[in-house]
Chains A and B, each alone.
Chain A
Amino acid sequence: MKKKLICIECPKGCSLDVDIENCRVVKVTGAQCPKGEKYAISEIEDPKRILTATILTKGFPLKLLPVRTDQPIPKARIADAMKAIRKLRVTKRVKTGEVIARDFLGIPGVSVLATRDLEMLK
């Protein structure tokens, strides 16, 4: 099977032609640098994304706490991840970078981090 991809590793945006057999990349053409091949392999064989979202807070002037996963998670699990995040609530003060949930979605090592300080207004 052949697939076309646009490499997004840099603004050049190389157009990649990828040959795929049994969900494995066998050949990448069109990349102007080695990053292209790496990108194609990860996009086809194991596409992952960092997810950013918000969590409802309780008792703070800020209604929502913005959060992110600390590393990319499988693209296929994004919808589940959103559902899980919508169920979380933050009730305590947090600092940017603090862990809100560990082993998120049961994926060992993946954490959900606060991306903003949550505090009472002075």
Chain B
Amino acid sequence: MKIYDIIIIGAGVVGASISRELSRYKLDIALLEKEIELAFGVSKSNSGIIHPGTQNPPGSLKGKLCVQGNILTRQISRELGVDFKEVGELIVAFTEEEKLRLRELKKEAESLGVPRLEIVDSAWLGKNEPNLSKEALAALYAPTAGIISPYRLVYDLSENAARNGAEFFTETEATAIEKKEYFEISTSKGVFRSRFLINAAGLFADDISRMLGIDDFKITPRKGQEFLLDKKKEHLTNRLIFPLPTKTSKGVLVIKTADGNPMIGPTAEDIEDKDDLSTTDEGLKNVLTRARKMIPLIDGSDIIAYFAGLRPASGNDFIIRHEDKTPGFINVAGIQSPGLTAAPAIALMVCDLLKKSGLTLKKKLIFRSHRKKTIHLFTEPLKKAKALIKKDPGYGDIVCRCEQVSAKEITDAIDRGAKTMDGLKFRTRAQAGRCHGSFCTARLMKILSEKTGVPLKDITKRGKGSRIVLKDRRDD
């Protein structure tokens, strides 16, 4: 049986970033994911903010990696053809006391190396953020903050890693791990062996670590409920709008997203259940009140969707370390915010840890760093769209009316690995608009079934147990 040099558990943004970084080297890499598709864990409900590095404690690991990651993300997004937009962020003060704290925040961030910070006054805000509450006194402006699509980043990182030789196994859940001569990982799809093991299992990183006898940390899910607004409100703000941070969170934000829809949230609720993705009325009220304090124009009727995500928190900082007690085992745990931003820096750090623990990293002769940008018709100018349709009529066949997704984008997404309705949604935005798939669900199912050979009634929302329909008349 094949012995991999490295196995990574967990195909979220951390696992995907590590796999892509390692795929530069002459190594056999495998990535194991328990869900049916990648990015179906913590990453699927990420806000998509590439943080500048503000709001992190001075001297923290996450602060350092965030600042590095912000820079690295730009190059990676260029190479992979993922849309990254530098929109900037404002941390807004509403009282004199808060205004004073802006200076502290600025100082702390500067000590971490966050560039080009500036404190702006109410006149600046009035001119540059006209929808911001007139009660805002001042703000800390961090121009290097950006936005990206978190799941598309995971898909494109993984696709590029795979192109450079990394192997991906989905619906492959690690159930037991032993360290003998090699790591032996028992999974729902058989035993995998490797010389090195990287735990990037997100919410379940503590469970994975415990399988190797290391149980000095616990992942506490911290739930965040987020509320998406109609795309019509895309220009509600020009930047990401933050309140002053509290000890446990960055507070309720008004977020710009890569898809255009503004988002408000998240809440921050420490919970026990790692599967609890429920949303509540209280969460909605809480978020709406806080968001409207900053942007009074926001109305409850603008909300078209909501969801909850879980931050895999463990204490206040990331845990990234080689476990000397189990040589070759690296934990990458507690990657809460700003994990998406930090991911490429985490990947570099993991490479370093691997080197230090005895792995030789030899560069491949050819590393294909670039991939062709995925086409999203609605973001293309009309001229380009016309040319695309001429080349492939499928681009002229609109399947999703709200987000204007064409049949060709759907079949492309399936070719690139989408197996479920959620997988299609995350990749293409079909079903993510204001009608919630009422219009396109049936057609999407048909295309998915025709292309993958899965019978219509076995098409799922997100894998096992989540079938969309239960019976087909053709079986009568």
Cα distance A75–B394 in the bound complex, in angstroms: 48
In the complex, chain B residues whose CB is within 8 Å of the CB of A56: 473-474, 476
Contacts of B476 in A (CB 8 A): 56, 86-87
* Complex Cα–Cα for A56 and B474 (A): 8
CA–CA, A64 to B476, complex, Å? 13
Closest to B476 in A: A86
Q: Quick one: CB contact mask for B452-476 with A, threshold 8 Å, 1 for yes?
A: 0000000000000000000001101
Among residues of B, the one whose C-beta sits closest to the C-beta of A64 is B473
Knowing that A63-B473, A63-B474 are A-B contacts, what are 4 other residue pairs whose CB atoms are under 8 Å apart, sorted by A's residue number?
Answer: A54-B473, A56-B474, A64-B473, A86-B473
Q: Is the interface of B mostly helix, strand, loop or mixed?
A: helix
Q: How far is the CA of A87 from the CA of B476 in the complex (A)?
A: 8
Task: Give chain B nearest CB distance to A56 CB in angstroms.
Answer: 5
Chain B interface size, as a band, is under 10
What are 10 A-to-B residue pairs whose CB atoms are below 8 Å? A54-B473, A56-B473, A56-B474, A56-B476, A63-B473, A63-B474, A64-B473, A86-B473, A86-B476, A87-B476
For the complex formed, measure the closest distance between the CB of B174 and the CB atoms of chain A, giving whole angstroms: 42
Q: Taking beta carbons and an 8 Å cutoff, which residues of A are in contact with B?
A: 54, 56, 63-64, 86-87
Q: Which residue from chain B places its CB closest to the CB of A54 in the assembled complex? A: B473
Set of chain B residues within 8 Å of A63, measured between Cβ atoms: 473-474
User: How far, in angstroms, from A64 to B473 measured CA to CA in the complex?
Assistant: 9
CB distance from A79 to the nearest CB of B (A): 16
Nearest A residue to B472 via CB reads: A63
A54 to B474, CA, bound (A): 12
> CA separation between A56 and B473, bound complex, in Å?
7
Q: Which residues of B contact A86 (CB under 8 A)?
A: 473, 476
Q: Quote the shortest CB–CB distance from A89 to chain B (angstroms).
A: 9
Nearest CB of A to B397, in Å: 14
Please give me the residue from chain B that is nearest to A55 by CB atom. B473
Say how far B450's CB is from chain A's closest CB, in angstroms.
13
* Interchain residue pairs A-B with the least CB separation, the first 10: A56-B473, A86-B476, A56-B476, A64-B473, A56-B474, A63-B473, A63-B474, A54-B473, A86-B473, A87-B476
Please name all residues of chain A whose beta carbon is closer than 8 Å to the beta carbon of B474 when the two chains form the complex.
56, 63
Q: Which residues of A contact B473 (CB under 8 A)?
A: 54, 56, 63-64, 86
For A87, the chain B residues whose CB sits under 8 A away are 476
Give the residue name and chain of the A residue nearest to B473 (CB).
A56
Q: Closest CB-CB distance, A64 to chain B, in whole Å?
A: 7
- Give A56's nearest chain B residue, CB to CB: B473
A81 to B474, CA, bound (A): 19
Q: Which residues of B contact A54 (CB under 8 A)?
A: 473
B145 to chain A, nearest CB (A): 50
In the bound assembly, the distance between CA atoms of A65 and B473 in angstroms comes to 12
Q: How far is the CA of A56 from the CA of B475 in the complex (A)?
A: 10
Contact with A along B223-245 (1 / 0, CB 8 A): 00000000000000000000000
Question: Closest residue to B474 on the A side, CB-wise?
Answer: A56
Find the B residue at minimum CB distance from A89: B476
B175 to chain A, nearest CB (A): 42
> Once bound together, how far apart are the Cα atoms of A87 and B473, in whole Å?
11
Task: Give CA–CA (A56, B476) in the complex, Å.
Answer: 9
Shortest CB distance B165–A (Å): 44
A54–B476 CA distance with the chains assembled, in angstroms = 13
CB B445 to nearest CB in A, in angstroms, measures: 13
State the CA gap A33–B476 with chains docked (Å): 47
Expressed in whole angstroms, the Cα–Cα distance for A109 and B54 within the complex equals 80
Minimum C-beta distance from B314 to chain A (A): 52
Q: CA A63 – CA B442 in complex, angstroms?
A: 13
Cα separation A54 to B473 with both chains bound (whole Å): 10
A17 to B474, CA, bound (A): 46
Minimum Cβ distance to chain A for residue B469 (Å): 13
Contacts of A64 in B (CB 8 A): 473
A30 to B109: give the CA distance in the assembly, Å.
Answer: 79
| Cα–Cα, bound, A38→B474 (Å) | 42
Give bound CA distance, A64 to B474, whole Å: 10
Q: In whole Å, how far is B393's beta carbon from the nearest beta carbon of chain A?
A: 16
Instruction: Report A52 CB to chain B, min CB distance, Å.
Output: 15
CB of B432, distance to nearest CB on chain A (Å): 27
Chain B nearest CB: distance from A73 CB in Å? 21
A109 to chain B, nearest CB (A): 28
Cα A97 to Cα B261 in complex, Å, equals 48
Closest to A87 in B: B476
Contact mask for chain B residues 306-343; partner A; CB cutoff 8 A; 1 contact, 0 none: 00000000000000000000000000000000000000
CA distance A86 to B475 in the complex (A): 11
Closest Cβ of chain B to A90, distance in Å, is 12
Complex Cα distance, B476 from A32, in Å, reads 47
Q: How far is the CB of A118 from chain B (nearest CB, A)?
A: 15
Chain B min CB distance to A27 (Å): 46
- Smallest distance from the beta carbon of B259 to chain A beta carbons, Å? 33
